[in-house]
């Protein structure tokens, strides 16, 4: 039993943090929003160059074959900067799925290419227009198509960097790839979005803390008042008790049992609840400024709002937790128990 | 990262389970705060526990422990809660003072105080708060005046849990003439010493679980002072870390309660408010999140880290989770919730009333939020 991260994992996360801090500031987003773009090619190239998109790909598909724990740490950092590019969907979900089905596929040989995924859990596909290919599902089988082989209809999201599309497509125009593991795709997406939620939440708190130290009212920084302190402390508590759930969910995802699915669902629920709570708290602490377009907090709120409902609604994830709670033995000796041990 | 128990850890769990199955009293004991008989029945249980060397497993062997690590401690606590073993009447000593003594005490002090603490021969109460020093603990006025090799203690302490029946107390006193955080010392005194008067205070559940203590020229040897004179505040903050953090509130009891709540829900779901299922699931999630957090903290501490302000986030989380869990149970019970004695003998009502103390003791949750805001987030005082 060892619930700590190793040096390499911490270093990789640090690398991602530095890269994102330099290349994904609020100024960067604002330029993208004005230009109406959702992808910064230079930033994506540096993400690819650093190897962040290769973490989950097996070595046979040109990847570095690390674990979900490693990738979750990276997506947490991506959340901290509300990264516009589809790192989770492409590098965390779609590329590993394609690599499992067709490790030599040509799309995988282009490191800059992103892959979108039309998962049955989601009515809309994120960032499908800029993808080199889209993974599609019919009767459990996976298919691959390019954006021009399908009909995409844009559905604007309140998050300007989530370009959503509904899709119509014909099996004849897509390449069949065989039976795919859609459950694993959902588990990974839920996990990585949970990790992203931790980053969104912490940034929202940090922005509010910075503001509360500076902003003066009644002759004192507003952060010296208990009402403000307690709001922020409550948000931080929510973050602190989502973190270990996300970490455990990442470590256990490979078990593929009722416990690992419940843990992932738990992680997604509480991490995005923490993000929502932190973002709303941050807006409140910023006062009228927090309700303005000019202050950056709203993007974190909007991303949290979107991620809360995608890749399984809260009701879906609660039901997966209930499945464990009401069918498995429960109690203090069951924290790390497995379905196979209890069978 | 490896979230599986080693074969040794599993074997340890089996050993604890087997011992507890053979020794835990079949009938629940009367509550230790209710009567002297209940208190003494719990003391007898502590002696039984220590006869198997289970009194305080993380302490060094020479002081009555087993020298086990924190993961083994968590396993022990899980099995203890799972077996429904009696509440720890010595908790203020074993979970708070004990670890503090191990960190700050001399070898002679450890030898003198730890073994009888682990065996229940000497049961301890905490004597920190005063009528004018609650959340503002640095306002303590009780004094310790040096007199040769002794101290003369004077003052008025209050809200001391277990003090009505306990044997010893560890109190916070100040050198006469000092102010605030400076000049405080942590000093032990027998509750039976001449000059000590203990007046029981009834709690909202009717029990006499806490007391006020009057000290009038109580003479104790300087040997009873933990750490240096004037180091009391520093030592108390370390103790408070244990109190708010993982020692006093190990996760297992919440997991037992959450599992019982899930059972209660399953037997009542046909008639109960369907909205409550989300709360039942939430109670389980909270208990599990707390357990995971404590395992993570234990791993970090074993790797050499020290407990920090996370003691404050813990305290807020467990106290709020405890109330939510028990409120959910009472909501499921509906019109039965208020009945005394409870039909079928459940503990939900008693435990709910107890849970309401959680956000107050060990430093109110308002104080904990201040600590988080100032020490974790860096907001100005």
Q: How far is B297 from chain A (nearest CA, A)?
A: 8
Residues of A in contact with B7 (CB under 8 A): none
At a CB cut-off of 8 Å and minimum separation 6, what does A139 contact?
A: none
Predicted confidence (pLDDT) at residue B308 exceeds the cutoff of 60:
yes
Residues of A in contact with B5 (CB under 8 A): 1, 336
Residue B302: closest CA among chain A residues belongs to which residue? A2
Q: How far is A31 from chain B (nearest CA, A)?
A: 30
Residue B77: closest CA among chain A residues belongs to which residue? A332
Beta bridge partners of B221: B150
Asked if residue A96 lies in contact with residue A117, where contact means CB atoms within 8 angstroms, the answer is: no
Query: Sheet holding A141-145: strands in order across?
Result: A115-117, A133-138, A141-145, A175-179
Q: Alpha-carbon distance A152 to A189, whole Å?
A: 22
> Which candidate from A213, A229, A330 shows the least CB-CB separation from B370?
A229
Q: How far is A229 from chain B (nearest CA, A)?
A: 5
Percent helix, strand and coil across chain A, each to the nearest 5: 60, 10, 30
**Other Cβ atoms within 10 Å of A60 Cβ, number:** 10
Check A236 against B316: CB less than 8 A apart.
no
Tell me how far CA of residue B273 lies from CA of A318, B278, B312, B330, B335, in angstroms: 17, 11, 34, 12, 12
Against a cut of 0.90, is the pTM above it? yes
**Does B293 share its domain with B184?**
no
Q: How far is B144 from chain A (nearest CA, A)?
A: 34
> Which candidate from B81, B278, B303 shows the least CB-CB separation from A4?
B303
Residues of B in contact with A213 (CB under 8 A): 378-380
Tell me what pLDDT residue A99 has: 96
Q: Does B1 touch chain A (CB under 8 A)?
A: yes
**Does B223 share its domain with B308?**
no
Q: CATH code at B323?
A: 1.20.140.10
Check B292 against A332: CB less than 8 A apart.
no
Residue among A157, A75, A62, A187 at smallest CA distance from A113 = A62
Question: What average pLDDT does the segment A183-203 reach?
Answer: 98
**Domains delineated in chain A:** 7-180 (1.10.540.10), 183-336 (1.20.140.10)
pLDDT tens for residues A14-23? 999 999 999 9
Q: Does B51 touch chain A (CB under 8 A)?
A: no
Predicted confidence (pLDDT) at residue B369 exceeds the cutoff of 90:
yes
Given pLDDT bands bounded at 50, 70 and 90, which one contains residue B239? Answer: confident
From B61, B89, B117, the end of a domain falls on B89
By annotation, the residues of B acting in catalysis are 243
> Which candidate from A1, A224, A241 shows the least CB-CB separation from B6?
A1
Radius of gyration of chain A (CA): 20
Higher pLDDT, B220 or B307: B220
> Which candidate from A3, A229, A232 shows the least CB-CB separation from B1?
A3
> What is the extent of the structural domain holding B39?
7-89
From B32, B65, B89, the end of a domain falls on B89
**Does B297 share its domain with B345?**
yes
Task: Find how far residue A245's CA is from the centre of its chain.
Answer: 15
> Which candidate from B71, B81, B262 shows the least CB-CB separation from A1?
B71
Task: Find how far residue A134's CA is from the centre of its chain.
Answer: 18
Residue B5: closest CA among chain A residues belongs to which residue? A1
Residues of A in contact with B303 (CB under 8 A): 4
Question: What average pLDDT does the segment B23-48 reach?
Answer: 96
Question: What average pLDDT does the segment B287-300 reach?
Answer: 95
What torsion, rounded to 10 degrees, do the Cα atoms B190, B194, B195, B198 define? 50
Residue among A136, A67, A126, A72 at smallest CA distance from A98 = A136
pLDDT tens for residues B133-184? 999 999 999 999 999 999 999 999 999 999 999 999 999 999 999 999 999 9
Tell me what pLDDT residue B243 has: 61
Q: Which helix (H) or strand (E) holds B359?
A: none
Q: Does B301 touch chain A (CB under 8 A)?
A: no
Q: Is residue B139 part of a domain?
A: yes
**Does B259 share its domain with B192?**
no
Q: Which helix (H) or strand (E) holds B97?
A: none
Given pLDDT bands bounded at 50, 70 and 90, which one contains residue A107? Answer: very high
Asked if residue B196 lies in contact with residue B218, where contact means CB atoms within 8 angstroms, the answer is: yes
What torsion, rounded to 10 degrees, do the Cα atoms A236, A240, A241, A245 define? 140
Q: Is residue B116 part of a domain?
A: no
Q: Is residue B99 part of a domain?
A: no
Q: Is residue B112 part of a domain?
A: no
Q: Alpha-carbon distance B236 to B186, whole Å?
A: 8
**Does B249 share its domain with B344?**
yes
**Sign of torsion, CA A96 A99 A101 A106?**
positive
**Does B81 share its domain with B144?**
no
Asked if residue A56 lies in contact with residue A20, where contact means CB atoms within 8 angstroms, the answer is: no
**Other Cβ atoms within 10 Å of B373 Cβ, number:** 29
**Does B210 share its domain with B281?**
no
**Does B43 share its domain with B158?**
no
pLDDT tens for residues A139-191? 999 999 999 999 999 999 999 999 999 999 999 999 999 999 999 999 999 99
Structural domains of chain B, count: 3
* Mean pLDDT score across all residues of chain A: 97
ipTM: 0.97
Q: Alpha-carbon distance A63 to A47, whole Å?
A: 14
Residue B281: closest CA among chain A residues belongs to which residue? A322
Given pLDDT bands bounded at 50, 70 and 90, which one contains residue A125? Answer: very high
Residue among A187, A8, A6 at smallest CA distance from B2 = A6
Beta strands in chain A, from DSSP E residues, in sequence order: 115-117, 125-126, 133-138, 141-145, 151-155, 164-168, 175-179, 216-217, 220-221
Q: Alpha-carbon distance A278 to A79, whole Å?
A: 13
Q: Does B2 touch chain A (CB under 8 A)?
A: yes
Predicted confidence (pLDDT) at residue B331 exceeds the cutoff of 70:
yes
Q: Is residue B97 part of a domain?
A: no
Predicted confidence (pLDDT) at residue A342 exceeds the cutoff of 90:
no
Q: Is residue B360 part of a domain?
A: yes
**Does B260 share its domain with B366?**
yes
First to last CA, chain A: 23
Q: How far is B349 from chain A (nearest CA, A)?
A: 21
Q: Alpha-carbon distance B58 to A201, whole Å?
A: 36
Share of chain B above pLDDT 70, in %: 98
**Does B253 share its domain with B226?**
no
Given its phi and psi angles, is residue A313 left (phi above 0), alpha (psi -120 to 50 degrees) or beta?
beta
Q: How far is B8 from chain A (nearest CA, A)?
A: 11
From B67, B89, B111, the end of a domain falls on B89
According to the 3-state scheme, what is the secondary structure of B108-173? HHHHHHHHHHHHCCCCEEEECCECCECCCHHHCCCEEEEECCEEEEEEEEEEEECCCCCCEEEEEE
Residue among B145, B74, B377, B271 at smallest CA distance from A234 = B377
Given its phi and psi angles, is residue A42 left (phi above 0), alpha (psi -120 to 50 degrees) or beta?
alpha
Predicted confidence (pLDDT) at residue B350 exceeds the cutoff of 90:
yes
Tell me what pLDDT residue B244 has: 62
Share of chain A above pLDDT 90, in %: 98
> Which candidate from A69, A236, A331 shows the least CB-CB separation from B377?
A236
Residues of A in contact with B285 (CB under 8 A): 266, 269-270, 321
At a CB cut-off of 8 Å and minimum separation 6, what does A321 contact?
A: A262, A265, A266, A269, B281, B284, B285
Check A325 against B299: CB less than 8 A apart.
no
First to last CA, chain B: 38
Q: Is residue B119 part of a domain?
A: no
Q: Does B264 touch chain A (CB under 8 A)?
A: no
**Does B252 share its domain with B197?**
no
Q: Does B285 touch chain A (CB under 8 A)?
A: yes
SS3 A110: coil
Tell me how far CA of residue B138 lies from CA of A283, B133, B311, in angstroms: 35, 7, 19
Tell me what pLDDT residue B311 has: 86
Query: Could you give the residue ranges of the DSSP H alpha helices within B303-357?
Result: 310-333, 348-355
**Does B82 share its domain with B23?**
yes
Q: Is residue B356 part of a domain?
A: yes
Q: What is the largest CA-CA distance in chain B?
A: 72
Given pLDDT bands bounded at 50, 70 and 90, which one contains residue B219? Answer: very high
Q: Burial of B281 by CB count in 10 Å (0-12 exposed, 13-18 middle, 19+ buried)?
A: buried
Predicted confidence (pLDDT) at residue A34 exceeds the cutoff of 80:
yes
Question: What average pLDDT does the segment A22-44 reach?
Answer: 96
């Amino acid at each position: 039993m060892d619930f700590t991260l190793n040096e390499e994992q911490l270093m990789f996360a640090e690398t991602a943090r530095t890269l994102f801090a330099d290349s994904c500031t609020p100024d960067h987003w604002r330029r993208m929003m004005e230009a109406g773009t959702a992808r910064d090619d230079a930033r994506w190239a540096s993400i690819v160059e650093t190897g962040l998109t290769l973490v989950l790909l097996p070595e046979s598909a040109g990847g570095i074959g690390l674990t979900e724990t490693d990738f979750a740490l990276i997506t947490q950092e991506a959340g901290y900067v509300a990264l516009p590019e589809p790192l989770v969907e492409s590098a965390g979900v779609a590329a590993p799925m394609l690599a499992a089905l067709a490790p030599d596929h040509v799309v995988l040989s282009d490191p800059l290419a992103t892959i979108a995924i039309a998962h049955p859990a989601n009515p809309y596909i994120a960032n499908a227009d800029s993808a080199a290919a889209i993974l599609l599902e019919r009767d459990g089988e996976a298919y691959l198509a390019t954006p021009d082989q399908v009909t995409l209809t844009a559905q604007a999201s309140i998050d300007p960097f989530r370009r959503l599309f509904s899709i119509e497509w014909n099996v004849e125009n897509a390449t069949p790839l065989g039976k795919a593991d859609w459950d694993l795709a959902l588990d990974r997406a839920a996990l990585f979005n949970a990790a992203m939620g931790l980053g969104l939440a912490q940034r929202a708190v940090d922005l509010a803390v910075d503001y509360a130290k500076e902003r003066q009212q009644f002759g004192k920084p507003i952060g010296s008042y208990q009402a403000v302190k307690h709001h922020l402390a409550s948000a931080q508590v929510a973050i602190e008790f989502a973190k270990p759930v996300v970490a455990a969910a990442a470590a256990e995802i490979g078990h593929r049992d009722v416990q690992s699915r419940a843990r992932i669902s738990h992680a997604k629920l509480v991490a995005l609840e923490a993000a929502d709570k932190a973002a709303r708290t941050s807006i409140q602490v910023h006062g009228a400024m927090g309700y303005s377009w000019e202050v950056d907090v709203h993007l974190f709120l909007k991303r949290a709002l979107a991620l809360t409902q995608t890749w399984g609604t809260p009701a879906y994830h609660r039901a997966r937790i209930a499945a464990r709670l009401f069918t498995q033995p429960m109690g203090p000796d069951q924290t790390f128990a497995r379905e196979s041990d209890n069978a | 990262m490896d979230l599986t128990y080693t074969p040794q850890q599993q074997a340890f769990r089996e050993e604890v389970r087997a011992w507890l199955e053979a020794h835990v009293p079949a009938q629940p004991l009367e509550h230790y705060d209710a009567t002297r008989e209940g208190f003494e029945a719990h003391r007898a249980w502590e002696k039984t526990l220590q006869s198997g060397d289970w009194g305080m497993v993380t302490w060094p062997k020479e002081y009555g422990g087993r020298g086990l690590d924190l993961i083994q401690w968590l396993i022990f606590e899980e099995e203890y809660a799972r077996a429904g073993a009696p509440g720890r009447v010595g908790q203020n000593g074993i979970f708070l003072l004990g670890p503090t003594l191990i960190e700050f005490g001399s070898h002679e002090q450890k030898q003198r105080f730890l073994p009888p603490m682990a065996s229940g021969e000497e049961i301890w109460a905490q004597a920190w708060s005063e009528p004018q020093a609650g959340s503002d603990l640095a306002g303590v006025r009780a004094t310790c005046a040096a007199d040769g090799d002794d101290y003369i203690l004077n003052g008025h302490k209050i809200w001391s849990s277990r003090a009505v029946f306990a044997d010893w107390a560890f109190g916070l006193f100040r050198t006469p003439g000092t102010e605030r955080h400076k000049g405080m010392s942590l000093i032990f005194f027998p509750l039976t010493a001449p000059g000590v008067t203990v007046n029981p205070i009834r709690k909202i559940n009717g029990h006499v679980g806490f007391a006020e203590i009057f000290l009038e020229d109580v003479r104790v040897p300087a040997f009873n002072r933990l750490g240096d004179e004037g180091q009391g505040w520093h030592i108390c903050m370390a103790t408070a870390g244990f109190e708010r953090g993982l020692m006093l509130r190990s996760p297992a009891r919440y997991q037992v309660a959450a599992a019982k709540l899930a059972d209660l829900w399953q037997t009542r779901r046909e008639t109960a408010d369907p909205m409550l299922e989300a709360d039942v699931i939430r109670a389980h999630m909270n208990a599990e999140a707390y357990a995971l957090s404590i395992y993570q903290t234990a791993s970090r501490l074993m790797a050499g880290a020290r407990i920090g302000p996370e003691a404050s986030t813990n305290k807020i989380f467990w106290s709020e989770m405890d109330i939510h869990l028990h409120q959910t149970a009472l909501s499921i019970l509906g019109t039965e919730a208020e009945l005394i004695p409870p039909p079928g003998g459940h503990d939900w009502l008693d435990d709910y009333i107890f849970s309401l103390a959680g956000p107050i003791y060990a430093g109110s949750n308002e104080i904990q939020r201040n600590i988080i805001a100032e020490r974790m987030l860096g907001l100005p005082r």
